[in-house]
Chain A
């Protein structure tokens, strides 16, 4: 059974003249690492807001079609109920930390749910260790770098032990090295804990290698949906102008030139280097 399933989902913001997403039908399986991408304004963020009921409960507006997340109909469940199952991490780390210390922030969701104190303490420590920020637990948010702040935001969602984690461009304010580390944390959570990850990203060069599933949106619609290697090789993807990783581009250019390379499309520099080594029969 899919963890997220939408059927003909169409949504218009209050006062909007045209729908921000229209006719979106997708399925995301349990344990998957799904990547949603597409040009700015294509409706990615709007779709994310539907996953925990911010749309329509917080934003109002008109939602048509069906959407079920972890088996729950978002229309029938308030946001705080959905929050136990689906965690959202936003783009700007600064605006999702409210408390004056890291551990207090991580505890925030559990406090809201009325979890007993001893249990909160246990889960907070577990989460801090898992995300590698235990040493920062007493720091104030303004004493942290952007990368550390985003880790805190991820930890504060993780503490609520959701089945699905949705991250909306979580690294766009970070430098590439911090971004790389964040993606690694996310990937480990996906693999170790089996949390379903839905990641919205432009930077495919850093993320494509982790994905099991890519959904490409354009102008409010899903235009491509499938296996990453296939999607990133398609002519459509190139025409829409999503940032195809350079390693993948190089592979296709060489293929076009008639070079014999294995048929597994590379998504990262490592994979591409290995393909080339294979073709040139060298071993490093």
Chain B
């Protein structure tokens, strides 16, 4: 469980990136933190594994305050996958890359072997285990980076902008993967401004703007609330936009899924035909 209590954060250069954020994320939750670039999303999640410490307020991970534990200790619980895989890949083979963190955490050799196998397999990378990550395509590098974090099986997983530069199929695979994590009762936190992706996953959405949380709730409630979306400079998902443009029909407002939209429209269109 992550508890954020009235956290303020100021960078050394004076920029105040968080201005009083309070938030609780329970075990097994799937949360999307959304907002414009510069709203403080990444700054917030960097507090979850202790990379940043609050200037004021406190952050608790499983009841332990992050200022009292090292990043390495917190990282065992909180896996953080950065936006750009090239900022972490450095080993000669994908296999070594995945073993890196396990060695840092002092796992035994036999366990490391097993875990590496498991992670490679989970993300469909087994055929690349002896290949240099630098030879792989962008999408594959992203998967190696993900595998290198999953390997130590953290109970909380943070993905920073996982869909940037990904094509439709890669996003679909990512969605499947997150759902799989969810069934294993893992906490998954994604930082993103990809509304269509969030609309398809339907997680809890935390909307940020200028270092503050402006809305928090179910995706279909938040992503259809024009007022808060405008505040956070987020464009509503397309299905929501369609519904917003037909106010006189008194349609239910909280629709972001294509198939839900279909059900409602079919009913209307058919009753209309009669």
Chain A residues within CB distance 8 Å of chain B: 38-41, 91, 145-147, 169, 172-178, 180, 202, 205, 241-243, 245-247, 249-250, 253-254, 257, 259, 268-270, 272-273, 276-277, 279-284
Q: How far is the CB of A65 from chain B (nearest CB, A)?
A: 25
CA distance in complex: A169, B242 (Å): 26
Q: What CA separation (Å) do A234 and B171 show in the bound complex?
A: 21
Chain A residue nearest in CB terms to B194: A176
B176 within 8 Å of A (CB atoms)? no
B235 within 8 A of A: yes
Docked Cα-Cα span, A278 to B164, in Å, equals: 37
A145 touches B238 (CB 8 A): no
Contact A40 B239 (CB under 8 A): no
B166 at interface by CB-CB < 8 Å? yes
- Which of B67-75, B181-189, B245-253 is found at the contact surface with chain A? B245-253
Asked whether, in the complex, the Cβ of B167 is within 8 Å of the Cβ of A280, the reply is no
Give chain B residues whose Cβ lies under 8 Å from the Cβ of A276.
242, 246, 265
Please give, as numbers and ranges, the residues of chain A lying within 8 Å of B261 by CB-CB distance. 250
Q: Which 9 interchain pairs have the tightest Cβ spacing?
A: A269-B241, A273-B245, A243-B168, A246-B238, A241-B169, A175-B193, A176-B235, A177-B233, A40-B167
User: Which chain B residues lie closer than 8 Å to A40 at the CB level?
Assistant: 137-139, 165-167, 170
- Report yes or no: A280 in contact with B238, Cβ–Cβ below 8 A: no
Are A250 and B239 within 8 A (Cβ)? yes
Contacts A175-B234, A178-B36 supplied; 12 other A-B pairs, CB < 8 Å: A39-B167, A40-B137, A40-B139, A145-B38, A176-B195, A177-B235, A180-B235, A205-B238, A253-B259, A273-B245, A280-B268, A281-B272
Determine how close the nearest CB of chain A comes to the CB of B51; give it in whole angstroms.
21
Which partner residue on chain B sits nearest A241 by CB separation? B169
List, in ascending order, chain A residues with CB within 8 A of B258's CB.
246, 249-250, 253
Given A178-B37, A253-B258, the answer on whether A245 and B266 have CB atoms closer than 8 Å is no
Q: How far is the CA of A180 from the CA of B194 in the complex (A)?
A: 13
Complex CA gap A40/B248 in Å reads 42
Q: Does B237 contact A (CB under 8 A)?
A: yes
Are A176 and B272 in contact (CB-based, < 8 A)?
no
- Chain A CB within 8 A of B269 CB: yes
Contact, CB under 8 Å: A259 / B269? yes
Question: Do B37 and A254 touch across chains, with their CB atoms under 8 A apart?
Answer: no
**Chain B residue with the shortest CB-CB distance to A269:** B241
Which residue in chain A gives the minimum CB-CB distance to B259? A253
Indicate the member of B172, B193, B195, B247 with the most A CB atoms within 10 Å.
B193
Q: Which residue of B lies closest to A244 (CB)?
A: B168
Would A246 and B234 count as touching, CB distance under 8 A? no
A282 touches B249 (CB 8 A): yes
Contact between chains at B167 and A243 (CB < 8 Å): yes
Of all chain A residues, the one with the shortest Cβ separation from B241 is: A269
The reply to whether B193 and A250 form a contact with Cβ atoms under 8 Å apart is no
